[in-house]
Copies of this chain bind each other. A is one copy, B any other.
Amino acid sequence: MTDIEVQSLLAAVPSNLPEEQLSTLLQTEYFRLVRIVSTGQATPEGEWYDQDENEWVLVLQGSAEIRFEDSDVTKSLSPGEYVQIPAHVRHRVDKTDPDRSTVWLALHYT
């Protein structure tokens, strides 16, 4: 008999973290589904993410600003909003909500 467990992305959300918290929810050879909790963190000044995998990322709670290097455009994300970031598109998180934990759901895939 299969026991199916209900879990919540919005439960046990820390409100004060020294660094972002990453929890892998699901992983196969081809993708990784991760919950990320940010409590005001941003990518360190002058640094960019340059990822080998594509990323689809959703904000569930809180808010964030992502900046893209080549266009120098900043995008704001509120709950329910997502972006799809192709591999090697350099980007950084300029800001996450200073007042409330930001909960992200990220799907990294090849």
Contacts and interface: CB of A to CB of B under 8 A. Distances in A.
Interface of A: 1-11, 25-26, 28-31, 33, 56, 58, 60-61, 66, 68, 70-71, 73, 75-86, 89, 91, 105, 107, 109-110
Contacts of A85: 4
Counting every copy of the chain, the complex holds 2
A30 B31 contact: yes
Classify the interface of chain A: helix, strand, loop or mixed: strand
Task: Point out which of A28, A78, A82, A105 has the most chain B C-beta atoms below 10 A from its C-beta.
Answer: A82
Given A6-B75, A8-B82, A9-B82, 20 more contacts: A2-B70, A4-B71, A4-B75, A4-B84, A5-B83, A6-B76, A6-B77, A6-B82, A6-B83, A7-B82, A10-B80, A26-B56, A28-B109, A30-B109, A31-B31, A31-B109, A33-B107, A60-B80, A61-B80, A107-B107
